[in-house]
Amino acid sequence: MSVSALPLTILRIQYKIARIPLQLIETNVVEKMSAESPARLVYEHTLGSLDRAVGNLLGDKSLSDRGETLVDSTESRAEAARLDAEARAKKIAADDELKAARDTAEKDRRAADAAAQEAARDARQEAEQRKREAAEDAERKATAEKKKADEQAAATAKAAEDRKKAQQAQVDKQEKQAAAPAEAELATAAERSEEAESKRDEAERIEKLFLAEKNKD
């Protein structure tokens, strides 16, 4: 070993000694964390960067490669964690969108149901209104027809009564005309009867006088 190589060798040994506490922390604490834990990634990335820098500085390829590997590993895991976080975020966003879409669809369905129920209620109310109006119109027509029929019946009855009165008046007139000669004859007969009765009384008086004169003789 050359004299110029001694300081690098000493530095490597010193770094290894200085790294022991870091190694203990990594073994006892960091490695118990999740491989994608942000704290572990930061710690391992920092330690890998330090190993790579010191390895390059001290010409320790093994240390440099180990640091490079640790940096690449942490960066890969960090990228994987980032992609996983993005995927989870996208999934959460998609779930939120799906939930929002479902909520919107449910609201639309409820609104459609409410609109359908309202339309059905309006249709029932309109049908009931038309039914009432039809019943009222039918009642008005029936009332008007009954009134018209009553008026026609009253007019018919009045006309019949008028015809009956006219016919009765005609019959009375005809009866009076027919009875007029008979009454005249009855009056004449009564006069003749009175005259005959008077003549009979006169004859009886004369006969009595004659008998009385005859008895005197």
Lowest mean pLDDT among 5-14, 45-54, 91-100, 195-204: 5-14
Alpha carbons 78 and 72: distance in angstroms, whole number: 10
Give the pLDDT of residue 12.
Answer: 76
pTM of the model: 0.43
Give the pLDDT of residue 183.
Answer: 67
> Of residues 41 and 214, which shows the higher confidence score?
41
Which pair of structure tokens corresponds to residue 56?
């390059």
Quick one: what percent of the chain has pLDDT higher than 70?
A: 92
Among 80, 25, 73, 31, CA closest to 48: 73
- Rounded mean pLDDT, 9-22: 79
Give the pLDDT of residue 68.
Answer: 94
Which pair of structure tokens corresponds to residue 35?
């491989």
- What tens digit of pLDDT does each residue of 99-146 get? 887 888 788 888 877 887 887 788 788 878 888 887 787 778 878 878
Give the pLDDT of residue 181.
Answer: 65
- What tens digit of pLDDT does each residue of 39-91 get? 888 888 888 898 898 889 888 898 899 899 989 999 888 888 888 888 888 88
Q: Which residue has the tokens 């572990």?
A: 40
What is the C-alpha end-to-end distance of the chain, expressed in Å? 240
Q: Are 67 and 50 in contact (CB under 8 A)?
A: yes
Quick one: what percent of the chain has pLDDT higher than 90?
A: 3
